[in-house]
Amino acid sequence: MGDQVAVLNGLLQAEVVSLAHPLRVGEARAALSPPYMHALLSPLGTTAGNLPGQSPEIHGATDAISLGAHTGTHVDGLAHVSYRRKLLDGTRIDDPGVQDAAHGIRMRTMENLRPVVSRGVLLDFARWLDVERIPGDYVITPDRLDACAADQGVQIRSGDTVLLRTGYDSIYHDADTFLEAPMPGPDTATAKALTARGIVATGSDTMPYEAVPSPDPLGVHAELIPKAGVFILEMLDLRALSERRPAEFLFVMAPLMISGGTGSPVNPLALIPANA
């Protein structure tokens, strides 16, 4: 009981670190994802939308946003990728009613995606290799994954969320450079190694998460999503977390409940206990 109280007290005093980039017009997005757009519909100081009898001293503003589900910091849901024309639960993507343009995909979509609350582990490859960002052609192999974890004194356990930092978060606001291939990331062997350890989610600070180019394009996504049900987070901002160097932290992520959606913008949080 004493240990549980200590953990609870640590979380109550935890530092909360956001792992998302702000959404701004013109910034990075996945190739097939529409850009982020923002419009101020009724500025402060106008009477648009005023309530009956509203004081002239009180003003409100409303705005509108439009974006693709895979724009900015986001999570790939379980309907984002199929393997051999099947989703995670075996649903065939060709079956009638599984998907249509008006309603999206009916199975394993964002409205059914559970929030993730787990132990988090950061593997900071940029810090390990002592560079601002690792080379674009750097592939995170299983041996490199284990070596980085050992150097940072962490172990990957069942139920973990494993975050990989390449340093690409430092150039996120330069979209042309950020999206230029090659891009570093794990290969399919590493994806298999992660799923074998029972992780629930993984993510990185790059756009595709996996290494690009690859002899098996989208193979990492296939290993993680339709084969193992592991969520992928992309375009994370891990700089603040890297500066704090926590051995572990509480990871929290709740996507928007988008009916028919294949992904969702997110603002994941790392809670670093005061006694960490």
What local confidence, expressed as pLDDT, does residue 31 receive? 77
Amino acid identity, residue 38? H
Q: Average pLDDT for residues 244-267, to the nearest whole number?
A: 95
Confidence of residue 71 (pLDDT cuts 50, 70, 90): very high
Q: Where are the domains of the chain?
A: 2-22+69-272, 37-66
**Would you say residue 60 has pLDDT above 50?**
yes
Q: Count CB neighbours of 18 within 10 A.
A: 15
**Would you say residue 249 has pLDDT above 50?**
yes
Global pTM reads 0.92
Q: Which residues pair with 139 in a beta bridge?
A: 185
For the chain, the average pLDDT equals: 92
**Would you say residue 2 has pLDDT above 60?**
no
Q: Average pLDDT for residues 130-155, to the nearest whole number?
A: 98
Q: Average pLDDT for residues 92-109, to the nearest whole number?
A: 88
Q: Count CB neighbours of 21 within 10 A.
A: 19
CATH of 2-22+69-272, one of 3.40.228.10, 3.30.70.100, 3.50.30.50, 1.10.3470.10: 3.50.30.50
For 200-240, what is each residue's pLDDT tens digit? 999 999 999 999 999 999 999 999 999 999 999 999 999 99
Give the closest residue to 270 by CA, choosing from 20, 4, 21, 3. Answer: 20
Q: Rounded CA gap, 22 and 14, in Å?
A: 22
Confidence of residue 258 (pLDDT cuts 50, 70, 90): very high
Q: Average pLDDT for residues 116-124, to the nearest whole number?
A: 98
Q: Which residues pair with 201 in a beta bridge?
A: 161, 231
Confidence of residue 30 (pLDDT cuts 50, 70, 90): confident
8-12, 110-114, 174-178 — most confident range: 174-178
